[in-house]
Amino acid sequence: MTQITHTITEPLEVRDPDKQLDGRLAWRLRVIGEDHDSPALQAWVLWCPQDHPAWQAYYVTGCSLDDERFGERFGPSQKQYPEAEYEITVFALNPEHHDLVAAMINSEDPLHGVAEGDGRPANVPYLMPPNVVQHVDGITRDGADAIVEAVVNVAINGVSLDSDFSGWWCSAIKGTASHFRGEHGEVH
């Protein structure tokens, strides 16, 4: 077990992280429907107390924007551009509900993934607006999952998930998708 501490709560006991580096911790969550028949991609909770004095926990996830998967449950997806196929999203988690964050990390039951009427993650005490929302296209579902995990890896290595860095993250996500499409060079 690992202990996480927030400035406004008592220390919380959570399972050992799946990834960690220099005080940054990440836990992969189980998601209901995290298969090719669901819009849900993988989901992670990150504990990055260095990023912001108030927002220390983040939720990193993604979903398919395919209207056959997404639309049958939620109606047409709201795309940043017509060709968009996947959404990669980072949310700050509500510091008043770190007990819920610890429960998510420790739970053996999977999250419902994309389960609310507007397609946002359910059972997650996230804050709105999201810190990062980037749509990508021209990649496989496995590629979209790999981008979610790449966001986690880069954050664990020290790039802040705070909203002040959202422009950098959007550019990095678009660049990674471009790389997966075999394009090398300037991001469009």
Using left for φ > 0, alpha for ψ between -120 and 50, and beta otherwise, residue 119 falls in left
Asked if residue 73 belongs to a domain, the reply is yes
pLDDT of residue 166: 96
Asked if residue 15 belongs to a domain, the reply is yes
Residue range of the domain that includes 119? 2-180
pLDDT of residue 67: 73
Write 63-67 long-range contacts (CB < 8 A, 24+): 63/39, 63/87, 63/89, 63/113, 63/114, 63/119, 64/38, 64/39, 64/40, 64/141, 64/144, 65/39, 65/135, 66/39
Asked if residue 175 belongs to a domain, the reply is yes
In this structure, are residues 159 and 151 in contact, taking their beta carbons and an 8 Å threshold? no
Helix, strand, or coil (residue 62): strand
pLDDT of residue 53: 85
Q: For residue 104, with 0-12 CB atoms within 10 Å meaning exposed, 13-18 middle and 19 or more buried, which class applies? A: buried
166 CB-near residues (< 8 Å, 6+ apart): 131, 132
Helix, strand, or coil (residue 98): helix
State the Cα–Cα distance between residues 29 and 21, nearest whole angstrom. Answer: 18
Q: Number of structural domains, the chain?
A: 1
Asked if residue 186 belongs to a domain, the reply is no
Asked if residue 188 belongs to a domain, the reply is no
Strand partners, 134: 88
One digit per residue, the tens of pLDDT, for the chain of length 188 reads 777 765 555 678 899 999 999 999 999 998 766 555 677 889 999 999 888 888 899 999 998 898 776 666 667 888 999 999 999 999 999 988 888 888 889 888 777 544 444 444 556 888 999 999 999 999 999 999 999 999 999 999 999 999 999 999 999 999 999 999 999 765 54
Q: Which two tokens stand for residue 98?
A: 């770190």
pLDDT of residue 6: 57
Say how far residue 66 (Cα) sits from the centre of its chain: 18
Asked if residue 144 belongs to a domain, the reply is yes
Asked if residue 185 belongs to a domain, the reply is no
Helix, strand, or coil (residue 100): helix
Asked if residue 162 belongs to a domain, the reply is yes
